Amino acid sequence: MTATNQPTFPFGQEIAWQPNPEWMAASNLQAFMDRHAIASYDELLARSIDDIAWFWDAVLADLDIRFAQPYSQVVDLSDGIQSPRWCVGGRMNIIHNCLDKWQETPAADRPAFIYAAEEGQSVTLSYTELNAEVCRCANALRSLGIGKGDAVGLYMPMTPKLVAAFLAVVKIGGVILPLFSGYGPSAISSRLADADARAVFTADGLQRRGKRVALKPVLDEALAAVPTVQRVIVVNRTGGADTPMQAGRDIWWHDLVPQQADTAQTEPTSAEDVLMIIYTSGTTGRPKGAVHTHCGFPVKAAQDMRQAMDLKAGELIYWMTDMGWMMGPWLVLGSLLNGAAMLFYDGAPDFPGVDRVWELCAQHRVTHLGLSPVFIRGVAPHGPEPVARHDLSALRAVCSTGSPWDPDSWRWVFENVLGSAKPILNYTGGTEISGGILAGNFFKPLKPAAFGGPIPGMAADVVDETGHSVRGAVGELVIRQPWIGMTRGFWRDRQRYVDTYWSRFEKVWLHGDFCAVDEDGLWYILGRSDDVIKVAGKRVGPAEVEAIVNSHPAVTESAAIGVPDPLKDNEVVVFAVLKSGVQPSENLRTELEELVTAELGRPLKPREVKFCAALPKTRNAKVMNRIIRAAYLGQALGDVSSLEDAGAVAAIQNAC
C-alpha cells in the first residue's frame, strides 16, 4: 500500500455478508416502502432527501406519533437551513407516545424495561408497571415545586429508578440534563449551572467490580457552585447509610416517591418545546449544550431503530451505555416509541466473568446488542469459548458505535457472535444528530468495518477541500439537507453552533468526520477530520495507522497523532497499549515502525512509537486524539470533563 491523497485502506476488502431476502421482505422498511409504492432502498433514500417534508411526515405516521393538536406544516425553512422549525403549530408531549398511548392496548402487559445488576438480580417492568413508576415520580417532582420548563439533572447509575426519573421529567414538561455517572465535580457543576438546573436525581453510589463507588459526595462538591439547584432526590443503590444529606435540599427517593399516586397528568407541551440539553465536550472552551425537542430527538432515535436496525414491537434492545452519553436517552425514547423493550445493565461488562455480556444476551433473549469495538478488543483475546457457552440465537444483529472498527475485531464478532450469518449494523452520528448519519441495514451487503450507507432522511455526502463530492477517496462527511433530529442549536450559544457546523461550506452541515465511499458504494468513517494527519501533502486518517499497529499480535490498541514538523508539516507519532505480559522493547518499537512504513510508505514512517498503559477515552470509548496530542506536545489540554479516566492523560505523559 502506498501513501497518497487517496489511501487504499479500507478499500479492496471482500463482501462478508449478503442481505437475506426473507428478512428484507419481513422488515419494517419494506412495509414502509410498500405503503408508499417505493421499489428499492436506493429509490427511498433519494426520495427521502429530495422531499424532506414528505419523508418526515411519513415517518411520523409510520411511528404513529400522535398529536394533541396536529401540526400545520412539517418543516419551515424560512429562517434558513441552519434553523428549521418542525411540526409547526403542533402540540405533543412525547411521553404520550412512549407510555400513555400503550396503556389500553395489548402492549400494556409486554415488557418495556429489563434491569440487570452486577450483583446478579434482575427486574422486569411491563408498560403498565413502568408507567405507574413514572407517574409516581412525576407526582413527586410536582410535590417539590418542579414543573414545566424546569431543568433536572440525572447523575445516576443505570437502574430502574433512572429510567423512571428520566421519563417523569418529560411527563411534567421539564428539561432533561443527562450527566455521565463518571463525571467529576467540575464537569457536573459547569453543565448544571449553564442550564440553571433546579433539581438533580442521584444515588448514594454504584457497584463496579464488587466495590462501592460513591456518587453523592461528588455531586455535593459540584453543587457548591450551582445555587439554582433547590432539591436533590437520592436513590439508595448501595446501602450507603453514611451518605451525607443536606437538610432542606436532599431527600431520599424511598421517603418521597413510593407513596405517590400511580396516575398523573401528562403536561401539555408544544412539539418544539425543549425536551433535553445534552452536553458534549468541545476541542476548546466550555462544553456545548445540544438542544433537543419533543418532536426531534425521540423521532429520529425511533426512526433509526425502526428503519435501519429493524427493531420490532416486542423485541429487546440492549446498548452498552451510560445515560450521560446520547445513546442512553436514545435507547429509552427509541425503544418505547417502537413498542419494544430496553435492557439496562448496571455493572462492568466483563465482571464477574469475561462472558457477562453474552450471559445477559442469552438470559434475556436480547434481539439487538449495541457495543463498541473497544469492548471487543478487550474480550477477543480470551477466545470464542466464553461466547460459545451461551445461546445467542435470539440475536438478530449486533450494532456498534463509539469508535472505528478494525477488520480483525469486526470478523471476530461476525464469526463468533453472529455465526457469519447475521449483520453487524455499524452506526455513526452524534449528540447533535439525535442518532445516526450512516448505518448498516438489512438491505445492503457489508464488508468488515463498513457502513451500508446513509440512513433514509440523511443527505450525507463526502466532499473534498473545495466542497465537491468525491468517491474512492477520503474526504469530509457532510449533510446537505436538514433532518427532524437536528439539534436546535447550542444552549445560549447560537454563534458557536453556526461556527461549528455551518461556517465552512455554504448551507452544508460539516460533521467533522473523515469519511470514504468505496468501489461498491460502502461507507467508512476514518476518525475525526480535525485529527487527520497531513504529511508532506499526503493525508492519513488516524484509524488507518491504528488498524495497522493493532494488527501486531503484541498490541491491544493504539492511537496515532500528527505532530508539527518544519519540513513535512506533520509527522506521525503512535502510542501503543501492549497486551498483558508483553514488555516494551526497542525491537518491538522497530517492528511497529517498520510495519506502518511497509503498509503506508516511507513518507508516513512514524517519528516514534511510544508505549503507554492506557489511552484517554470518553465514556463511549472514543479515544481522544486531541488530548493525546496536547499531552505529547505539552500544550493546554482543553476540556477533559468527558474522559472516563483522567489518569490516562498521565499514561500518555509517562509513555516510554
Span 501-549, pLDDT tens digits: 999 999 999 998 889 999 999 999 987 777 778 776 666 778 878 988 9
Grade residue 587 by pLDDT with cuts at 50, 70 and 90.
very high
* Whether pLDDT at 264 is above 70: yes
Cell numbers of 608, please? 516514534
Q: Kindly list the distances between the CA atom of residue 469 and the CA atoms of 6, 33, 473, 499, in Å, as whole numbers in the listed order.
A: 14, 28, 10, 22
Q: How many residues does the chain have?
A: 656
Alpha helices in 516-585 (DSSP H): 542-550
pLDDT tens digits for 227-250?
Answer: 999 999 999 999 977 899 999 999
The grid cell for 88 is 409547526
Which pLDDT does position 35 carry in this prediction?
A: 98
Residue 372 C-beta-side C-alpha neighbours within 13 Å: 17
- Segment 146-155 shows an average pLDDT of 98
| pLDDT band for position 433 (cuts 50, 70, 90) | very high
Q: Largest Cα–Cα distance of the chain, in whole Å?
A: 71
pLDDT above 90 for 597 = no
| pLDDT over 90, % of the chain | 79
pLDDT digits (tens, 9 = 90+) for 328-339: 999 999 999 999
Angle (CA) 409 334 109, round 5°: 115
Beta bridge partners of 118: none
Q: For the chain, which domains are there?
A: 21-92+273-527 (3.40.50.12780), 101-256 (3.40.50.980), 532-653 (3.30.300.30)
Which grid coordinates belong to 594? 517498520
Strand ranges for 303-423 from DSSP E: 316-319, 341-346, 368-371, 397-400
Mean of the pLDDT values across residues 568-594?
93
Residue 281 pLDDT: 63
Where is 54: in which H helix or E strand?
A: helix 52-62
What confidence score (pLDDT) does residue 12 get?
64
What local confidence, expressed as pLDDT, does residue 565 receive? 82
CA atoms of 81 and 74, how far apart (whole Å): 14
Q: pTM for the whole thing?
A: 0.87
> What pLDDT, on a 0 to 100 scale, did the predictor assign at position 620?
63
The answer to whether 335 and 306 are in contact (CB under 8 A) is no
Inform me whether the pLDDT recorded for 1 exceeds 70. no
The whole-number pLDDT of residue 282 equals 52
Banded pLDDT at 7 (limits 50, 70, 90): very low
Count, in order, helices (H) and strands (E) of the chain.
Answer: 21, 29
Question: Which H or E element spans position 512?
Answer: strand 509-517
The answer, yes or no, to whether residue 284 has pLDDT greater than 60, is no
Q: What is the pLDDT of residues 163-220, one digit of tens each?
A: 999 999 999 999 999 998 888 888 889 899 999 999 999 999 999 998 999 999 999 9
Q: Which of 294-303, 568-577, 641-650 has the lowest mean pLDDT?
A: 641-650
pLDDT number for residue 405? 84
| pLDDT > 80? residue 644 | no
Q: Which residue in 282, 270, 268, 262 sits closest to 130, CA to CA?
A: 262
pLDDT at 422: 98
The whole-angstrom separation of Cα 424 and Cα 370 is: 10
Residue-wise pLDDT for 367-402, tens only, equals 999 998 888 988 999 999 999 999 999 999 999 987
